Amino acid sequence: MGGGSDGRLRSIVRVQSWFCAICPTEGEYFTTMVVGSSGSGDLIFLTWIPEGEQQALDSVVRHAYAEILRQLDDRGAVPLQERIFCDLDSADTVIAARTEVLGDTIAARIPPTVVEGSPVFGGPIAGIHVIAARPSDPESVRTITWRDAACGRRISGEDADYFALCDVGRLVDRRGPVSAAAQTSNALLLASDILGASGWSFDDVCRTWFYLDDILSWYDEFNLARNEVFTNLGLLNGARAGIIPASTGIRGRNFRGHQCTLDLLAVKARPGRELSVTMLHNPLQNEAPEYGSAFSRGLTVATDESQTLFVSGTASIDEAGATIHPGDFDGQTSRTLDNIESLLASRGAAMDDICQATAFVKRRDDGRRLLSILNARGLGDLPLICTVDDICRDDLLVEIDATAVIPAHSPDNV
């Protein structure tokens, strides 16, 4: 694969999985593993996507994790975060197969975030995203715990220090009636406490992911809760030296039953190393806080070696914050991709530099339309997990988030 601002920084690895035990005449089962990195930076992005009919879920998942382990080992990388998108009825099977393969490896020591993500083309699992880092020293890898529960990982790389938390909502005390908005506030405050216990803070957080059990019924309350916590933490009142994190906020029930799932990623400079965090700006959109949603459209984390661009969940929203192309899936998808392309271009990156992405479509039948539009734009090989989920507005039909990586000193950078 070629392309990208300085040569494509991701590679497609197509691997054979298993001979179908139920119907051996079907032959071999194939999956796609996409590996994205800058080659010299700390971070590695793995996306595993099943292909074809999933006739034996446990075999499919065992193969997925065997391949994930192999890719991590080949690159000397350790997982920071892991997100599994699947039907909730299949979550126990997926977790059991994962446990069987990972055993007592370091990859098994923090739980994955399991989010309802019904595949658009059928089957019980839509895919797995892993964000990993190459540690500068194996002794730098730390499992983060809260009240004896593993909830994240800290890794020191050559370029930066990384701190990730997974599914903080499961750690929140939910005894008695607790509203969904209160669960959001409590998850954010708990994340702040966990960060603080290790000498970190929300000033260091560059990316958040929120999965809400029923986003359309309480998204306004979610925004109010997040705004209040972020204001109290100094993120929205002008006192913060840093920047509001990039974010995804989407419907996605959690198999553990809580209403707000929260993952986050934070980064700090290593002594003697350069690190900067800057906002991505898009002339095609206004800033989300202008209509009451506390997130950046995107952030760039630049180190001596690479720039990682975190693009927030992006939809067909214009420069005034209004939905455009209502009821028109093709129009909304094209505008969404234009918005992402504009954000990436602001830092000299291109769509070819995307090394991990997730698409959420409101209507299952639109999944094939999405792939058709991507193919028409030359983006058919994006490392994209596509699921069926509600989006934050009833008139939005598609949302896409993405992460791209480019070299620190690409001549196209601006």
Q: Locate the domains of the chain by residue range.
A: 1-134, 137-269, 275-409
Task: Yes or no: say if 165 and 111 are a contact pair by the CB < 8 Å rule.
Answer: no
- Two domains, one topology: 1-134 and 275-409: yes
pTM: 0.92
Residue 24 has pLDDT above 70, yes or no: no
Task: Yes or no: say if 159 and 303 are a contact pair by the CB < 8 Å rule.
Answer: yes
Q: Where are the alpha helices (DSSP H) in 215-347?
A: 215-232, 329-345
| Confidence at residue 101, expressed as pLDDT on a 0 to 100 scale | 97
The rounded distance, in Å, linking the Cα atoms of 287 and 245 is 13
Residue type, 285: Q
- For the residues 166-190, what does the mean pLDDT come to? 90
The two structure tokens encoding residue 304: 């001596």
Q: What burial letters (b/e) apply to 362-395, b meaning 16+ CB within 10 Å?
A: beeebbebbbebbeeeebebbbbbbbbbbbbbee
Q: What is the pLDDT of residues 299-348, one digit of tens each?
A: 999 998 899 999 999 999 887 778 899 999 999 999 999 999 999 999 99
Q: Which residue has the tokens 């010299």?
A: 40
| Confidence at residue 285, expressed as pLDDT on a 0 to 100 scale | 79
- For 1-134, the fitting CATH number among 3.40.50.300, 3.40.50.880, 3.30.1330.40, 2.120.10.70 is 3.30.1330.40
Q: What is the pLDDT of residues 264-299, one digit of tens each?
A: 999 999 999 999 999 998 888 777 777 777 889 999
The rounded distance, in Å, linking the Cα atoms of 248 and 171 is 20
Q: Which fold has domain 137-269?
A: 60s Ribosomal Protein L30; Chain: A; (3.30.1330)
Residue 332 or residue 240, greater confidence? 332
> Which residue pairs from 327-330 have beta carbons closer than 8 angstroms and sit at least 24 positions apart in sequence?
327/395, 327/397, 329/361, 329/363, 329/366, 329/369, 329/370, 329/397, 329/398, 330/369, 330/373
Task: Yes or no: say if 403 and 354 are a contact pair by the CB < 8 Å rule.
Answer: yes
The rounded distance, in Å, linking the Cα atoms of 135 and 159 is 10
The rounded distance, in Å, linking the Cα atoms of 73 and 199 is 29
| Confidence at residue 408, expressed as pLDDT on a 0 to 100 scale | 83
Q: Which of 37, 80, 360 is nearest to 210 (CA)?
A: 360
Q: Which of 67, 4, 89, 90 is nearest to 39 (CA)?
A: 4
Residue 2 has pLDDT above 80, yes or no: no
| Confidence at residue 25, expressed as pLDDT on a 0 to 100 scale | 35
The rounded distance, in Å, linking the Cα atoms of 353 and 369 is 23
The rounded distance, in Å, linking the Cα atoms of 279 and 285 is 13
| Highest-scoring range by mean pLDDT, 172-176, 185-189, 303-307, 317-321 | 185-189
Q: Which fold has domain 275-409?
A: 60s Ribosomal Protein L30; Chain: A; (3.30.1330)
SS3 191: helix
In terms of phi and psi (left: phi > 0; alpha: psi -120 to 50; beta: otherwise), the region of 148 is left
| Confidence at residue 365, expressed as pLDDT on a 0 to 100 scale | 93
Q: How confident is the model at residue 409 (pLDDT cuts 50, 70, 90)?
A: low
